[in-house]
Amino acid sequence: MAEAGLGTPCRRSLLVSAFGSLILIFSGAVAGGATPFRVLDPGGGAALDDSLRQSVGAAGMLEPHTSSLLIDYYETFLRDRDLGEFRDRVLARYTEETLCRVLASSPHANARRGAVLALGVVGSFDGCNATLGRAMRDDDAVVRTMAERALWVVWFRADTPENNQTLEDVRLLAATGRPDEAVELATKLIARAPRFAEAYNQRAIAYFKLGRFAESAEDCQRVLAVNPYHVGALGGLAQCQMQLDQPREALKTLRRSLKLQPHSAALSDNIRTLEAGLESDGPR
Per-residue DSSP letter, 38: P
pTM of the model: 0.78
Task: Kindly state whether residue 116 falls inside one of the protein's structural domains.
Answer: yes
Over residues 200-245, the pLDDT tens digits come to 999 999 999 999 999 999 999 999 999 999 999 999 999 999 999 9
Over residues 143-191, the pLDDT tens digits come to 999 999 999 999 999 999 999 999 999 999 999 999 999 999 999 999 9
246 and 182 in a single domain? The answer is yes
Task: Kindly state whether residue 3 falls inside one of the protein's structural domains.
Answer: no
Task: Kindly state whether residue 1 falls inside one of the protein's structural domains.
Answer: no
Residue 163 CA to residue 167 CA, distance in Å, equals: 6
Over residues 80-103, the pLDDT tens digits come to 999 999 999 999 999 999 999 999
Residue 171 CA to residue 167 CA, distance in Å, equals: 6
270 and 177 in a single domain? The answer is yes
168 and 242 in a single domain? The answer is yes
179 and 124 in a single domain? The answer is no
Decide which of 156, 188, 209 is a domain's last residue. Answer: 156
Domain count, the chain: 2
260 and 215 in a single domain? The answer is yes
Other beta carbons within 10 angstroms of residue 177's beta carbon come to: 10
Residue type, 227: N
Task: Kindly state whether residue 57 falls inside one of the protein's structural domains.
Answer: yes
58 and 131 in a single domain? The answer is yes
76 and 178 in a single domain? The answer is no
Task: Kindly state whether residue 257 falls inside one of the protein's structural domains.
Answer: yes
List phi, psi (to 5°) of 113.
Answer: -65, -45
List phi, psi (to 5°) of 97.
Answer: -60, -40
Query: What is the band of 11 on the pLDDT scale with cuts at 50, 70, 90?
Result: very low
Structural domain span for residue 166 = 9-32+160-281
